[in-house]
């Protein structure tokens, strides 16, 4: 990508003018453009004009329009990036506020304006416009009947061609049929390589397969290079080819291929190799010393608060969300790690390493020293639990004894109550008898006293 002009104010508002030069630039723009930005670019629109006689004519005219972005679509297979939004600058041919879609194409300039250029966006512009960050690795992952031709860049892994040709098995057919099918398969791969690989850019070409399929293909390629002038470029660049093992012919086997030490040495000067090395270092640390390998936003954030992060690994997918708060919290995390003298590695979601990191929540960290986070949940102590059970059993025994004593007191109280009741009854009978012994004089005396 070519940087034509850059103008950023002190409050971080401003714009950049860029020009797309290769397919990888579309992926950088997809990560750079956000909802709410203003995009200015030239496009072709159908303009209707009314003549003096009242008839209406239409013609296609090249216009420059500015839209406020509401949607971004990227298709890596067709190398297409479409940006949609409503016009925010008046134009005599286009109504203000009307909805339009701009297709960003190669060698066409465009201007991107943001209200705030954060650190991630500025870093992305810097890396995308650096000529030293270009792709220079190709890989052919194959098995009998299946092959994936890939270009490995600093930001993504692009499958340029997928070849599937039926190859008869040796056990079910004659060896001649098997050999013819295999040669047809190899020839199809050579045709695809001739169309998609530019050896002026590619510094290393990896051929990987299970068993001896890669060796047979390499020998067939060298033989055809001597016979056919169309394939002589392969023999001229024979030193760039590296043969290694893979578990299958599918694209996902590329991760294990890039982890091979022979391949790492061949890719020593590429950014793709450095990302693979860092991710492998994280996995090794996770096995050997888990307290120095954290992943997940909350754990990484706590490690950063204690100034423990040595290397932060984060995918670009986390900065591409529509939620401004989510983007800002990850931008703040990256900025804080850099302020604390930590190293930050940004992984692409389309790269094989970025896909692996995305499975670990998209953010991870290698720490300077082991760190143990306190568990918020209460820990279970068996000894304390057993002691607690003994105490409960003693309390239960005491409660039982107290209950027995209370029962004894209750029964004795019932006896006393029964004794008092019988005494009361006798007194009551005596009173009744005495009441019946009142004579007339006593009654008159009692009445006069009342």
Of all residues in the chain, the percent with pLDDT exceeding 70 is 76
Highest mean pLDDT among 48-62, 209-223, 379-393: 209-223
Q: Which residue has tokens 């991630």?
A: 120
- Could you list the beta-strand ranges (E) of 105-190: 109-114, 137-143, 146-152, 157-164
The reported pLDDT for the residue numbered 155 is 63
Task: Please say if the pLDDT value at position 338 is more than 80.
Answer: yes
- Could you list the beta-strand ranges (E) of 99-256: 99-104, 109-114, 137-143, 146-152, 157-164, 204-209, 241-245
380 or 132: which carries more pLDDT confidence? 132
The reported pLDDT for the residue numbered 106 is 81
CA–CA separation, 407 and 398 (whole Å): 14
73 or 135: which carries more pLDDT confidence? 73
- pLDDT band per the 50, 70, 90 thresholds, residue 285: very high
The model carries a pTM of 0.52
CA–CA separation, 417 and 426 (whole Å): 14
Residues 6+ apart with CB under 8 A from 277: 264
Average pLDDT, the chain: 78
Q: Phi-psi region for residue 351, left (φ > 0), alpha (ψ -120 to 50) or beta? A: beta
The reported pLDDT for the residue numbered 435 is 42
The reported pLDDT for the residue numbered 321 is 63
pLDDT in tens, 28-37: 888 889 888 9
pLDDT in tens, 84-115: 999 888 877 788 888 888 888 888 889 999 99
The reported pLDDT for the residue numbered 386 is 44
Contact 291, 370 (CB under 8 A): yes
Beta strands 309-315 and 363-367, pairing class: antiparallel
């Amino acid at each position: 990508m070519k940087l034509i002009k850059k103008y950023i104010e002190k409050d971080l508002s401003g714009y950049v003018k860029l020009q797309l030069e290769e397919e990888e630039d579309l992926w950088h723009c997809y990560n750079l453009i956000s909802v709410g930005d203003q995009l200015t670019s030239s496009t072709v629109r159908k303009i209707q004009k009314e003549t003096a006689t009242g008839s209406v004519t239409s013609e296609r005219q090249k216009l420059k329009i500015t839209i406020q972005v509401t949607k971004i679509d990227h298709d890596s297979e067709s190398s297409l990036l479409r940006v949609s939004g409503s016009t925010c600058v008046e134009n005599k041919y286009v109504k203000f506020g009307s909805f339009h879609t701009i297709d960003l194409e190669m060698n066409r300039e465009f201007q991107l304006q943001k209200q705030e250029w954060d650190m991630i966006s500025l870093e992305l512009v810097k890396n995308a416009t650096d000529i030293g960050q270009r792709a220079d690795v190709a890989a052919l992952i194959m098995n009998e009947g299946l092959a994936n031709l890939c270009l490995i860049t600093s930001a993504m892994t692009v499958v340029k061609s997928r070849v599937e040709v039926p190859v008869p098995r040796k056990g079910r057919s004659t060896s001649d049929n098997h050999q013819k099918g295999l040669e047809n398969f190899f020839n199809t791969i050579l045709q695809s390589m001739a169309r998609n690989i530019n050896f002026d850019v590619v510094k290393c070409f990896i051929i990987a397969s299970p068993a001896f399929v890669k060796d047979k293909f390499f020998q067939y390629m060298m033989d055809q290079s001597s016979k056919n002038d169309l394939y002589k470029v392969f023999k001229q660049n024979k030193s760039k080819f590296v043969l290694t093992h893979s578990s299958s012919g599918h694209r996902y086997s590329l991760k294990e291929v890039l982890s091979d030490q022979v391949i790492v040495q061949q890719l020593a000067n590429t950014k793709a190799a450095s990302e693979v090395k860092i991710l492998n270092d994280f996995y090794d640390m996770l096995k050997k010393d888990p307290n120095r390998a954290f992943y997940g936003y909350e754990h990484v954030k706590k490690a950063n608060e204690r100034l423990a992060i040595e290397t932060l690994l984060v995918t670009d997918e986390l900065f591409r969300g529509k939620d401004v708060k989510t983007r800002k919290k990850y931008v703040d995390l990256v900025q804080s790690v850099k302020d604390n003298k930590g190293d930050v590695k940004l992984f692409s979601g389309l790269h094989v390493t970025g896909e692996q990191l995305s499975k670990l929540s998209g953010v991870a960290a290698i720490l300077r020293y082991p760190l143990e986070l306190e568990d918020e949940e209460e820990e279970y102590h068996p000894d304390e639990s057993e002691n607690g059970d003994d105490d409960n059993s003693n309390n239960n025994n005491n409660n039982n004894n107290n209950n027995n004593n209370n029962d004894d007191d209750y029964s004795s109280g019932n006896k006393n109550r029964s004794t008092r009741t019988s005494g009361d009854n006798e007194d009551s009978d005596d009173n009744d008898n005495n009441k019946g012994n009142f004579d007339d004089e006593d009654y008159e005396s009692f009445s006069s006293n009342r």
